[in-house]
C-alpha cells in the first residue's frame, strides 16, 4: 500500500428538521463542505436552511457527519445548482452528468463512490406543499477515452397546494371571497346546480396556470481510491407507513429502521463508514373528490444514518426515515395565526380554526435512503458528530432566499495518522478519536 495520506475529509450522514406547526415547502436544506484541509486538520462549514410561509414559526434541526483520514483515499467536493420549474402536481425530473478531470485524483485510482454532502432547496415563488422529492447519485466510472471520472446526479420534485396562502390568497377570507364570487356567477346560470358549480369554479380558478419555481443546490463528494485501499458497497433501506387523524406518528415508533450494512469480508478492511447516496420521500393523502391533491404540509422530515457498532466488514446502523404533517402539541406560533380577531376568544371557534390550520390529514409516507458503506484498509475516524440549532422564521412575505433563512456553524477535527493500522478504541459502539471540536 502506498503511503498516500491526504488531510481528513467529512462524510455527511443526514439531518433532522421540524416546525412547531404545519408549513409549505418554502425552504429546507442541510449540508456541509470542507472549509479547510491541511495536514492533520479538517475544518468543516455546516449549514441548515429553513423558511415556511407568511406565518411566523420556529424550526429545530440537527445535522450529522463523520470525519475520516485514510491512506490511499482521496476526497473531491462538487456543487451543482439546478433550477426546477413545473406546473403544480407535475413531477419535474432532472439529470446532470458530472465529470472530474483526469488529474483530479491519482491515475491508479480504480474504486469510486459519489456521495451526497447535503442540499438546499428554496422557492422562488408560489411555495407549495411537498408531494415527492428524490435525489441520487450513480456509481462513478473512469472514462477510458478521456481519463475523466464520470457519474450522474438524478432527481425529481413534485409539489402542489390547495391551501389559501399557496394560491395567491394570504388569508382564508380571500379564498372565501373567490368562492363567493364564483357562487354569484353560478347563481346567474340558474338554480342550485349552477350555484354549486360556480362556487367550485370560484375556489379553483386561482390554481389555473400556477407554475412552481424552485432552486436546488446539491453538495456532493467523490471518494476515490485503489481496490486495495477503498471498497464501497451500495444498499437501500425503505420505510413505508401510514397514519390517521386520531393518533400522531413519532420518529421513535414509526421512523427508525435498524439495519445490518454488510461490506466485503476481506481482512484488509479495518474501518467502515456509511455515507448517503440517495434521498427519496413520497407522501400521499386522500381528501375526497373535491380535494384530490396528494401533497401535504410539512411538520417534520428526518433522514439520517447513525452507526451503532462498526467493524471492518460491516456496520450496524439506525436509519431515520420519517415524515409527519401533524402532532399532538400546542404551538405558540400557531396561536398567533388563529386567534379570532373580531369574535373574541371562543373555545369552540378556536378549536375549529386550529384544526383547519394544523392540517391534521391522514396519509402515507414512503421514505428511501441509499447508503454506500465505505471500507478503508488503514484509516482514523472521528464519528459520529452532530450539530443542532433553532431558527425563527418571521414570515410576513420575506424571501426564502433571505440570509435570515440560514444558520451556519463550523467544526474542527484534528486527526493524526497512527503509525500502525490497529483499530481504534470503541466509544459508544463507534470507532473514534475526538481531538478538537471547535464550536
In eight-state DSSP terms, residue 439 is -
Average pLDDT, stretch 104-116? 96
Dist CA 158 CA 144 (whole Å): 37
The arithmetic mean of pLDDT across residues 254-270, rounded, is 96
Q: Per mean pLDDT, which range of 2-6, 42-46, 74-78 is the poorest?
A: 2-6
With a CB cutoff of 8 Å and minimum separation 6, the contacts of 377 are: 1, 70, 71, 72, 228, 229, 230, 268, 269, 270, 421
User: What phi-psi label fits residue 14: left (phi over 0), alpha (psi between -120 and 50 degrees) or beta?
Assistant: left
Least confident of 115-129, 150-164, 194-208, 399-413: 194-208
The answer to whether 274 and 307 are in contact (CB under 8 A) is: yes
Mark 266-283 as b/e (b = at least 16 C-beta within 10 Å): eebbbbbbbbbbbbbbbb
DSSP H or E segment with residue 29: strand 27-38
Q: 30 near 17, Cβ under 8 Å?
A: yes
Q: CB count, 10 Å around CB of 40?
A: 17
| Banded model confidence at residue 296, pLDDT cuts 50, 70, 90 | confident
Most confident by average pLDDT, 127-131, 169-173, 231-235, 334-338 = 231-235
Terminal-to-terminal C-alpha distance of the chain = 36
Q: Is the dihedral of CA 344, 349, 354, 357 positive or negative?
A: negative
The pLDDT value recorded for residue 60 is 97
What pLDDT does residue 2 have?
Answer: 46
Least confident of 44-53, 352-361, 418-427: 418-427
Residue 295: what pLDDT? 78
Say what the pLDDT of residue 354 is: 54
What pLDDT band is residue 329 in, cutting at 50, 70 and 90?
confident
- Name the grid cell of 55: 406565518
Q: Is the peptide bond before 384 cis (omega within 30 degrees of 0)?
A: yes
- Considering all CA atoms of the chain, what is the largest pairwise distance in Å, rounded to the nearest integer? 89
pLDDT-derived band at 420 (thresholds 50, 70, 90) equals low
Burial class (CB in 10 A: 0-12, 13-18, 19+), 366: middle
Res 361: pLDDT? 85
Least confident of 116-120, 136-140, 272-276, 360-364: 360-364
Q: What is the DSSP string of 340-361?
A: -TTT---HHHHHHHHHHHHT--
Q: Which of 396, 115, 105, 94 is nearest to 233 (CA)?
A: 115
Q: What is the pLDDT of residues 190-220, one digit of tens each?
A: 444 444 444 444 444 444 445 678 999 999 9
Contacts of residue 143, defined as CB under 8 A and 6 or more positions apart, other chains included, come to: 99, 149, 150
pLDDT of residue 257 exceeding 70, the answer is: yes
With bands split at pLDDT 50, 70 and 90, how would you rate the model's confidence at 4?
confident
Note the residue count of the chain: 439
Predicted pLDDT of residue 208: 46
- Which residue in 304, 306, 305, 312 sits closest to 374, CA to CA? 312
Question: In this predicted structure, what is the pLDDT of residue 97?
Answer: 95
Percent of the chain's residues with pLDDT above 90: 61
Amino acid at each position: 500500500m502506498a503511503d498516500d495520506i491526504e488531510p481528513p475529509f467529512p462524510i455527511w450522514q443526514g439531518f433532522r428538521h421540524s416546525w412547531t406547526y404545519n408549513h409549505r415547502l418554502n425552504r429546507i436544506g442541510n449540508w456541509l463542505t470542507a472549509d479547510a484541509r491541511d495536514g492533520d486538520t479538517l475544518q468543516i462549514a455546516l449549514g441548515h436552511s429553513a423558511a415556511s410561509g407568511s406565518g411566523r414559526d420556529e424550526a429545530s434541526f440537527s445535522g450529522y457527519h463523520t470525519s475520516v483520514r485514510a491512506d490511499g483515499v482521496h476526497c473531491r467536493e462538487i456543487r451543482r445548482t439546478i433550477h426546477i420549474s413545473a406546473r403544480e402536481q407535475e413531477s419535474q425530473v432532472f439529470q446532470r452528468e458530472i465529470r472530474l478531470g483526469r488529474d483530479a485524483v491519482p491515475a491508479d485510482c480504480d474504486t469510486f463512490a459519489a456521495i451526497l454532502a447535503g442540499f438546499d432547496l428554496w422557492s422562488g415563488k408560489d411555495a407549495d406543499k411537498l408531494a415527492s422529492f428524490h435525489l441520487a447519485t450513480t456509481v462513478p466510472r473512469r472514462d477510458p477515452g478521456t481519463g475523466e471520472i464520470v457519474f450522474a446526479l438524478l432527481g425529481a420534485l413534485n409539489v402542489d397546494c390547495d391551501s389559501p396562502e399557496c394560491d395567491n390568497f394570504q388569508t382564508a377570507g380571500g379564498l372565501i371571497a373567490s368562492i363567493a364570487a364564483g357562487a354569484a356567477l353560478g347563481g346567474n346560470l340558474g338554480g342550485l346546480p349552477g350555484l354549486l358549480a360556480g362556487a367550485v369554479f370560484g375556489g379553483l380558478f386561482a390554481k389555473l396556470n400556477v407554475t412552481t419555481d424552485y432552486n436546488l443546490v446539491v453538495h456532493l463528494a467523490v471518494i476515490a481510491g485503489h481496490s486495495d485501499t477503498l471498497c464501497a458497497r451500495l444498499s437501500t433501506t425503505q420505510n413505508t407507513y401510514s397514519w390517521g387523524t386520531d393518533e400522531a406518528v413519532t420518529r421513535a415508533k414509526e421512523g427508525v429502521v435498524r439495519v445490518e450494512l454488510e461490506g466485503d469480508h476481506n481482512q484488509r478492511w479495518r474501518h467502515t463508514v456509511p455515507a448517503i447516496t440517495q434521498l427519496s420521500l413520497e407522501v400521499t393523502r386522500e381528501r375526497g373528490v373535491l380535494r384530490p391533491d396528494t401533497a401535504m404540509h410539512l411538520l417534520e422530515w428526518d433522514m439520517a444514518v447513525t452507526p451503532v457498532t462498526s467493524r471492518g466488514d460491516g456496520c450496524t446502523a439506525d436509519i431515520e426515515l420519517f415524515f409527519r404533517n401533524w402532532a399532538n402539541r400546542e404551538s405558540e406560533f400557531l396561536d398567533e395565526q388563529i386567534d379570532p380577531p373580531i369574535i373574541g376568544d371562543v373555545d369552540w371557534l378556536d378549536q375549529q380554526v386550529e384544526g383547519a390550520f394544523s392540517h391534521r390529514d391522514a396519509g402515507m409516507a414512503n421514505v428511501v435512503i441509499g447508503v454506500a458503506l465505505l471500507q478503508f484498509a488503514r484509516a482514523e475516524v472521528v464519528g459520529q458528530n452532530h450539530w443542532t440549532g433553532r431558527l425563527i422564521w418571521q414570515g410576513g412575505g420575506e424571501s426564502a432566499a433571505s440570509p435570515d433563512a440560514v444558520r451556519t456553524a463550523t467544526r474542527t477535527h484534528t486527526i493524526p495518522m497512527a503509525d500502525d493500522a490497529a483499530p481504534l478504541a470503541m466509544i459508544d459502539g463507534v470507532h473514534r478519536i475526538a481531538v478538537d471540536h471547535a464550536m
